[in-house]
Amino acid sequence: MISIEQMAMVLEALPDPAFVLSRSGKYVAVFGGHDERYYHSSEGLMGLRIADMVSADKAAWFLEQIELALETEALLIREYELSIKEVNTDVEDGPLNPIWFEGRIQKLNFVVDDEPVVLWMASNITERHDMEAKLRELSDTDQLTGLFNRRRLERDLMTHYRTFVESNKPTSILVFDLDNLKTINDTLGHFVGDEVIMAVGHICRGSLNNDGMACRFGGDEFVIALPNIELAQAMVFAELLHGRFEAHFNRFFAKSLASVISVSIGIAEIIPSDTSYETALKRADDALYQAKRAGKNRTMMG
């Protein structure tokens, strides 16, 4: 039979921190989690409240999880991020970078100071979270250009379409490809063709702000989504992009190669009659082929 003293030693030796928290967010008890490689010190938390330690928004989230665990009496599993910079403490020991936690929250069948309480176990899952994020990034990225791939584009366009339907916020779509790439591949080889495609990716990345996204749709065809941008603004952006492509090709490729490289662009904006993002994407694609038929190296609106 383990004694009370031995049980206290077991709780203190827990590799991950465990907290007993009241409904109002008071730290009733704190155990374990003393490895400074993975956790910040929990000294001094006893008697304080979550609202004393983190921002109002973060505290509200913690209290919401506690209330849910009390109401459902089921084990809750939640992932969340917490940085030492977000915590109101003078503690300097422990990791400097933000930590991702897996919290396991379970109602306890007793009260403290007339308040129901939960057990909150917090495990550092930062390494796993970072690995999962890296794998998601790799699965969404075109290896040759570093742009997003078709899978990621379709997911983002679906989100932008829903946003348009719900909030009437515009999204414009550019579809473009390289004129005469087959000629380049046939005469100079696919390695040179790949260099041109990589140059397009480089220019796209340098031309977009945080909202816009570019993807390699397949082969030498690319798509750019511009949320919160209407068609007229997208046309201005397309002309800017055209100029950057031309300047880059003339500067970094031989004259004989630069003279045959150009880009044709089709543009469309999601509109109320669209039944899905695919409808707008097809209009932009149709506009691209209008630009091709009109002589290439130009921009057309669909």
- Cβ(137)–Cβ(109) under 8 Å? no
- CA angle in degrees (0–180, nearest 5) for 98-104-109: 140
Cα 15 to the center of its chain, rounded Å: 31
Pair type for strands 262-269 and 299-301: parallel
- Mode of pairing for the β-strands spanning 18-22 and 115-124: antiparallel
220 a catalytic residue = yes
Name the nearest CA neighbour of 264 among 187, 178, 149, 154: 178
Looking up tokens 């809750």, which residue turns up?
Answer: 76
Q: How far apart are CA 149 and CA 216, in angstroms?
A: 5
| Given the residues 142, 156, 179, 220, the one annotated as active site | 220
The 3-state DSSP class for residue 274 equals coil
Catalytic residues: 220
